Chains A and B, each alone.
Chain A
C-alpha cells in the first residue's frame, strides 16, 4: 500500500499545468506591471483630487490587505458580482508599503512580517503556541478588517470535524470582541463578524471585521477571540459547538492603522428640509447632514429627531445607483423589495453625533468598491456627484 497515495497521484497531472506552474518569470513581470500601473493611476487620481478638492486632499493610506483581497474575491463569487463590477480589483495591488510593524500579541514581542511594495513578506515569524498576532489590517472611517493568525498548538484540535458538523464546515472561533464604539454608550465588547480563512497545521487564520463603528479607541484596539469549535446541524437548527474554550487577546496600536480615504460629494441635496452630502470609502457610503443645534434645538427633542431619522430611513429604502465613469450603472436594491442580480450593500445603520451636530445613514458594502471609478451616486432621487 502506498504511504503517500495523494501526493503520488498528483504526479499524473497534465504537463501543460506543470509548465504553467514553473513559469514564474511571466507571473512576476505581470504583477510588477500591474503594480506600477495601479500606482500610477493612484498618483494621478490623488493629483486630481488635490487640484479640485483641496479640502479633501489626503494621501491614500491603505494598509496591507492581500489576505483580505482573497477573502473578498471569494465573497464576490458568492454574491455573484459580475466580473466587470465596481469592486476594487486585486486589492493586494492597493497595498501601500508598510513601514511599521502592524502587530502585537498579548504576550509576545515577536516582530511581524513587513510587507514590501510587491506584497511579499520580508520577515515573518508565526505566533508562538497559544498566541495570536495580527498580520494585516485595513480600516476606513467606520469599518475595520483585521487578519489574525492563532497558534492552537497544544489544544489538540483534531483535523477531522465531528460527524454532526454541517457540510463544508471548518473549525472557527465563536466570537471576536473589540473595544470599538459601535453604538453610543457601548464602547466595550463590540461583537464582530468572523470569516475563517485557513488552517495550516496548528495555525488558524481568520478575518474579523466590524462595520458601523462610531469611534475608534484613542490608543489601541484590543480584540478578544474566544472558543474554537464548529457549526453543527441539529435537526433543522445550526448550533455552535465548542471544542476548546480558549480565550486569546490581540492588540493593535491605533497609530499603526492607515485609514483608507473617503471621497466627498461635490454637492449637497435637500431631503426633507435638511442638506445632505455623501462620502464614500471602499467599505461604506455615508449619507450625512450637519445641523446647527444653537439655531434649531428641535434636534434635541427626541420625537422630532426620531421623525427625521425615520423619514431618512424610508427615503433610503429604495434603490441606490452607482454610476461609473465608464458609463456603467450598478443598481443595488438596498432595503427595498426589488430584486437585482447582485448586491453591493450589506447593511444599513443610522447614526448621530450630537457633539459634532452630525447625523445620517451608513451603508456598509459587501465588497470593497473602487471609489476612483464612481462618477455619481443616486439615492432615491437624490444625486451626489464626485470630482475626478
Chain B
C-alpha cells in the first residue's frame, strides 16, 4: 500500500492504518528500537507506543514521508524508554554500543555547548551543508545506528570509505557546533 493511502486511512480513523504501517515498516521500526533497547520487552512496548503515537498525531499531522516520520517517533520513544530504564537502574543491553557512538559523535564537546542553541536548527543547517553521500553515511551511523559494515554494504562503498567519511564529517560537525557556540 502506498504511504498516501495509509495516511488517508489514518485520517479516516480506520484502524487498518496501523496494521498497514506495521506491515510496511514494522521491521525497520523494530530494528531501531532493538538497537537502542536490545531484544527486550521494552523494545516491543516502544514499537507499540510508536503506533499509538502515529494514531494520535495523524491527523492533525500529515507527514510527507511516513517512513521517516515513523522512524523519528520510534527512535525518540526508544531513547525516552532508555533514559527511564537508566534512571530506574534497570539493566539495558542495547543492540549497539551507544557509549562508543556517543563518544565518537561528541568528540570531547561538552553537552553545554549546545544547550543554549536551538539544536534542531543547528543540526539541520549542518546536514544541509554536507554532500549527500557524507550526509547519508552520517545519519545511517548516528540516527539509524547502523554498523560500519552494514552502511558499506547498503551504500555499495568500502568500509574504509565509510570510516573516512565519518571521520571528516564528525570533524566538521564539531567545528560547526563550536562555531555556533561562539556566536551566542
Instruction: Please give the residue numbers on chain A whose beta carbons come within 8 Å of chain B beta carbons, in ascending order.
Output: 2-22, 24, 27-28, 31-32, 64, 66-67, 69-71, 74, 92, 113, 115, 118-121, 124, 135-136, 147, 149, 159-160, 168, 170, 197-201, 203, 205
In the complex, how many angstroms separate the beta carbon of B58 from the nearest chain A beta carbon?
13
Which of B28, B132, B171, B175 is A20 in contact with, Cβ under 8 Å? B132
Known: A6-B105, A31-B156, A119-B156. A17 touches B139 (CB 8 A): yes
Cα–Cα distance between A201 and B147 once the two chains are bound (Å): 14
B49 at the A interface (CB under 8 A): no
Q: A7-B79, A22-B71 known; 20 other A-B pairs, CB under 8 Å? A: A6-B102, A6-B105, A7-B98, A7-B105, A13-B123, A16-B68, A18-B71, A20-B135, A21-B140, A27-B136, A28-B156, A67-B160, A71-B164, A113-B158, A136-B160, A159-B108, A197-B163, A198-B167, A200-B167, A205-B160
28 contacts between A and B (CB under 8 A): A7-B105, A9-B114, A10-B123, A10-B139, A11-B143, A13-B123, A13-B139, A15-B65, A15-B69, A19-B67, A20-B136, A21-B143, A22-B28, A22-B71, A67-B160, A67-B161, A70-B168, A92-B161, A113-B158, A120-B153, A124-B149, A147-B160, A197-B160, A200-B163, A200-B166, A200-B167, A201-B100, A205-B167
| Chain B residues near A119 (CB-CB < 8 A) | 156-158, 161
Give the number of A-B contacts (CB < 8 Å).
Answer: 179
Interchain residue pairs A-B with the least CB separation, the first 8 = A198-B167, A18-B68, A15-B68, A21-B139, A12-B120, A67-B160, A5-B111, A19-B65
Tell whether, in the assembled complex, residue A9 and residue B123 are in contact, meaning their CB atoms are under 8 Å apart: yes
Tell whether, in the assembled complex, residue B64 and residue A14 are in contact, meaning their CB atoms are under 8 Å apart: no
| Chain B residues near A20 (CB-CB < 8 A) | 132, 135-136, 139
Cα–Cα distance between A115 and B159 once the two chains are bound (Å): 10
B20 at the A interface (CB under 8 A): no
B22 at the A interface (CB under 8 A): no
B154 at the A interface (CB under 8 A): yes
Tell whether, in the assembled complex, residue A118 and residue B167 are in contact, meaning their CB atoms are under 8 Å apart: no
| Chain A residues near B63 (CB-CB < 8 A) | 15
In the complex, how many angstroms separate the beta carbon of B179 from the nearest chain A beta carbon?
12
Tell whether, in the assembled complex, residue A14 and residue B83 are in contact, meaning their CB atoms are under 8 Å apart: no
- 1/0 per residue, CB under 8 A from A, across B132-156: the answer is 1001100110111100110011111
User: What count of chain B residues pass the 8 Å CB interface test?
Assistant: 62
Which of A12, A197, A198 is B123 in contact with, Cβ under 8 Å? A12
Cβ < 8 Å to A, chain B residues 97-128: 98, 100-109, 111, 114, 119-120, 123-124, 127
| Chain A residues near B65 (CB-CB < 8 A) | 15-16, 18-19
B101 closest partner in A (C-beta): A7
Which of A10, A17, A64 is B135 in contact with, Cβ under 8 Å? A17
Tell whether, in the assembled complex, residue A159 and residue B152 are in contact, meaning their CB atoms are under 8 Å apart: no
Known: A92-B161, A160-B108. A7 touches B132 (CB 8 A): no
Tell whether, in the assembled complex, residue A32 and residue B120 are in contact, meaning their CB atoms are under 8 Å apart: no
Cα–Cα distance between A15 and B70 once the two chains are bound (Å): 10
Tell whether, in the assembled complex, residue A4 and residue B132 are in contact, meaning their CB atoms are under 8 Å apart: no
Cα–Cα distance between A45 and B28 once the two chains are bound (Å): 44
